[in-house]
A and B are shown apart, each in its own frame.
Chain A
């Protein structure tokens, strides 16, 4: 069975394009336009990997990651992305709480679709 990816971003164009790309690449895809909706989908569906935007209004990416990794203690890979400068999101794993948060990979938008696909495949393999 193909892996199920949840994509959370408040930019509709991004959830749409990434959703389409991962569907074409053979994945099951769910999308959400904010953190709250993302967590609701996460709780109702069997998700194998989450790609979330970091900066979103109200429930942001950090909160989503904390909820998944700590509150729900789910052992699945989570990828954080942001249009912000790279060192700020790369800094997240350096924060004292980040080993607990356990974000697996962060990147600055935009990156080539195939680079993201390779990272997703690599992480799914790692968590198998």
Chain B
């Protein structure tokens, strides 16, 4: 602002200086052409020198005003741009706050559920241990034996569920090795291409030779769970499942990742054109036992397990969705080495 004000003062001085020069020229009759045009115009409008002087001053102010107006327009344009930038920043911050809140909630649910899981394992151990003794003591095939076998089946199911919660809340140390993540993706994609209804189009854009240190079985499970959800979301309408694997620089990620473990990340995007997820549901999708599926169709652990595995691999997972239109999951995993 200060710079602009100074500039207009300079402009004003410059124009005044030019006018003074012109007057000197005219008074000395040295410049024939200027004098000639001046007298012709003056006589044409039938004016005296005084009127011309007043008109000159008016003309000067009109030009000067027009210039200021132009500057003002520029100024309001830049204000508009700054305003837009601020608006974008607010939207971005709000989004980040939501992600942070979601993370904090998941962490507290994780702590809570791992405590519950610990207690349940103890309880289940007592039930199964007593029950196994009954199974051994009872005559095989008797009703009582059969009852105890049913108890055992339920205990086994509960044990399996608790294992899944623990994978979610703490992750399980897998068989970590250097893998080409694209290979695994292509494997799971091939499996889905064979088994998925043809009304769902599967598109992949996989960059190979991106190496990460990971448990291949767990990564397999991550993609399996994500693809299954996408296919489920499009099962009646059909649509497009798109899987992209690319390399991204951690410089572009420092705002969304807690801490960058490496210079480069593998970014896997799984997007579908299914039913989408509403804002209210979006905040809960990684919670254990949260499901929108009917009873018996899902346990509500699929995405929790995905979340747990990605966290255990020092990665991040984000979700974006537009209800009724699309859903997109982005996974970031640190690249360890490239061959």
Partners in one complex: yes
Tell me the A residues contacting B by CB distance below 8 Å. 11, 13-14, 16-18, 20-21, 24, 55, 82-88, 90-91, 108-114
Q: Provide the main secondary structure of the chain B interface.
A: helix
| Number of A-B contacts defined by CB within 8 Å | 68
Q: Which 5 interchain pairs have the tightest Cβ spacing?
A: A83-B121, A13-B126, A110-B125, A17-B129, A109-B125
Residues in A whose Cβ lies below 8 Å from that of B155: 110
B127-151: which residues lie under 8 A (CB-CB) from chain A? 128-130, 132-133
A85, B133: Cβ atoms closer than 8 Å = no
Tell me which residues across on chain B come within 8 A of A110, comparing CB atoms.
121, 124-125, 128-129, 155, 159
Residue in B closest to A55 when the chains form the complex, CB atoms: B118
Q: CB distance B118 to A17 under 8 Å?
A: no
Residues of B within 8 A of A55 (CB): 118
Inter-chain contacts of B119 with A (CB < 8 A): 83
Can you list 10 residue pairs at the A/B interface with Cβ under 8 Å?
A: A11-B126, A13-B123, A16-B126, A55-B118, A83-B121, A85-B114, A85-B170, A108-B121, A110-B128, A110-B155
Give CA–CA (A16, B122) in the complex, Å.
13
**Chain A residue at minimum C-beta to C-beta distance from B165:** A85
Query: Is B71 in the interface zone, CB < 8 Å from A?
Result: no
* Interfacial chain B residues near A111, Cβ < 8 Å: 125
User: Shortest beta-carbon distance, B16 to chain A, in Å?
Assistant: 84
Tell me if B117 is interfacial: C-beta within 8 Å of chain A: yes
Contact A109 B173 (CB under 8 A): no
Residue of B nearest to A12 (CB): B126
B161 within 8 A of A: no
- With both beta carbons as reference points, the residue of chain B lying nearest to A15 in the complex is identified as B126
Q: Which residue in chain B gives the minimum CB-CB distance to A18?
A: B129
Return chain A residues, CB-CB under 8 Å to B166: 85
**Closest B residue, CB atoms, query A81:** B125
Q: Are A17 and B130 in contact (CB under 8 A)?
A: yes
Q: Is the CB of A83 within 8 A of B129?
A: no
Q: Please, which residue of chain B has its CB at the minimum distance from the CB of A116?
A: B129
B residues within 8 A CB of A88? 170
- Within 88-119 of B, Cβ neighbours of A (below 8 Å) are at 114, 117-119
A84 to B165, CA, bound (A): 11
Flag if A14 contacts B128 (CB, 8 Å): no
Cα A87 to Cα B128 with chains together (Å): 22
Q: How far is the CA of A109 from the CA of B117 in the complex (A)?
A: 11
User: Which chain A residues border B124 with CB–CB below 8 Å?
Assistant: 109-110
Question: How distant is the Cα of A111 from the Cα of B170 in the complex, in angstroms?
Answer: 20
Q: Give Cα A15–Cα B308 distance, bound, in whole angstroms.
A: 33
Q: Told that A84-B118, A85-B114 touch, could you supply 7 new A-B pairs with CB distance under 8 A? A: A13-B126, A17-B130, A24-B133, A110-B124, A110-B128, A110-B155, A113-B129
> When chains A and B are docked, how far (Å) is the Cα of A67 from the Cα of B132?
33
User: Is B120 in contact with A17, judged by CB distance below 8 angstroms?
Assistant: no
Residues of B within 8 A of A91 (CB): 173
**Closest residue on chain B to residue A85 by CB atoms:** B166
Q: Which residues of A contact B128 (CB under 8 A)?
A: 110, 112
Give A114 to B173 CA distance when docked, in angstroms. 26
Interface flag for B260 (CB, 8 Å): no
Residues of B near A86 (CB, < 8 A) are 172
**B126, B159, B173: the one within 8 Å of A17 (CB):** B126
Q: How far is the CA of A86 from the CA of B171 in the complex (A)?
A: 10
With contacts A17-B126, A85-B170 known, is A113 near B118, CB below 8 A? no
**A21 with B129, Cβ < 8 A, contacts A85-B166, A85-B172 known:** yes
Please give, as numbers and ranges, the residues of chain B lying within 8 Å of A21 by CB-CB distance. 129, 132-133
A residues near B114, Cβ cutoff 8 Å: 84-85
